Amino acid sequence: MRKPVIHDQDGHADDLVATLLLALYPAVDLRAVVVNSGDCIPQVSAAVLAALLDRLGKGAVPVAWQHHALPHPFPTAWQRESLNYLRAFPEAERYYPAAAGTRLLTETILAAGEPVTLLVTGPCTNLAAALRAAPEIARHLERVVLMAGGLEAGGNVAGEQDHDGSAEWNLYCDPPAAAYCLQAGLALDFVSLDVTNFVPMTARFVETLRSRGGACRLAAELLAGVEQQNYFFWDTLAALLTCEPDFLPRGRRTLTVRTDPPAAGRLEKTASGVPARVFEPDADVESLGARVEVRVAEILSAL
């Protein structure tokens, strides 16, 4: 039986590849894709996603975007990289996804008729807005997978005013939204920097995808150049773990998201925190990157 999944993302290269993986995974029924204004120009990335899904024969999957005024926006230069994807998907300019992302998220969850898995690979802003507007959606979410945070690994925010660098970008972008979602009674699985730091996006992997054609080549076009940017399998690994949660072990933690400077967005283990599960590296951590590359390429090779 196929599992209904919604992808709420912020439109950067690995977000798009994560959607590609979900769309091709045999046991996943991708119900909707929502793009927020985190690490992209949302209307551009949403149009590229609509074109991508159409190429896969999945054009019936609804796509929408939502602009939010975020407390700590991603750098403008990073957001503008979404314009690069138009080179691989020039037909995207013919697609006009609606600026109704939060509504699509809410309506798709409520209309599913069965428990839904939600993958969030960006700030928690859309999810928090949906929960505030319709708190009942929490009862319909079987599992929420968040690419977010770092515990032992610390953060990846650097050079931001009044911040100590201890947060991961998706949480730092909107700490109040993340804290709100953490308190909403959801079954949360965190894919944090503690895992993704072991899985860099390599030039070898991108070239392997390019050589295989089909959906692999589409992924390679989206990922072109990222191996030169200290890039990791952040969102693509989160998508893989959404599909195959037994790929890595999970530990139980009680977690809190800081909302106060200079540590806004820091994910912390605290005695008074909210119970959640956190994916962990397995015993064979040295081979983790290679194993992720192989499995992702296998899934993308299905088309």
How does pLDDT run along the chain (303 residues), one tens digit per residue?
Answer: 899 999 999 999 999 999 999 999 999 999 999 999 999 999 999 999 999 999 999 999 999 999 999 999 999 999 999 999 998 899 999 999 999 999 999 999 999 999 999 999 999 999 999 999 999 999 999 999 999 999 999 999 999 999 999 999 999 999 999 999 999 999 999 999 999 999 999 999 999 999 998 999 999 999 988 877 789 999 999 999 999 999 999 999 999 999 999 999 999 999 999 999 999 999 999 999 999 999 999 999 986
Pick the CATH number of 3-182+193-300 from 3.90.1150.10, 3.90.245.10, 3.20.10.10, 3.90.420.10: 3.90.245.10
What's the token pair of residue 230?
């200290």
Classify the C-alpha dihedral 37-274-112-238 as positive or negative.
Answer: positive
Q: What pLDDT score does 229 carry? A: 78
Count CB neighbours of 263 within 10 A. 18
Q: How far apart are CA 52 and CA 47, in angstroms?
A: 9
| Region of 255 on the Ramachandran plot (φ > 0 left; ψ -120 to 50 alpha; else beta) | beta
pTM above 0.95, yes or no: yes
What's the token pair of residue 201?
């996006």
Q: Which of helix, strand or coil describes residue 254?
A: strand
Enumerate the β-bridge partners of residue 98. 64
Q: What pLDDT score does 1 carry? A: 85
CA dihedral 180, 6, 119, 261 (to 10 degrees): -30
Classify the C-alpha dihedral 44-149-290-23 as positive or negative.
Answer: negative
Element of type H or E holding 106: helix 101-111
Q: What pLDDT score does 124 carry? A: 98
Q: Are 97 and 43 in contact (CB under 8 A)?
A: yes
Residue 147 sits at the vertex; the CA angle it makes with 57 and 116, to the nearest 5 degrees, is 55
Q: What pLDDT score does 303 carry? A: 65
Q: What pLDDT score does 225 carry? A: 81
Q: How far apart are CA 143 and CA 119, in angstroms?
A: 8
How far is residue 108 CA from its own chain's centroid? 18
Q: What is the DSSP string of 18-36?
A: HHHHHHH-TTEEEEEEEEE
| Residue type for position 132 | R
Q: What pLDDT score does 24 carry? A: 98
Please name the residue that has the structure tokens 């590296």. 281
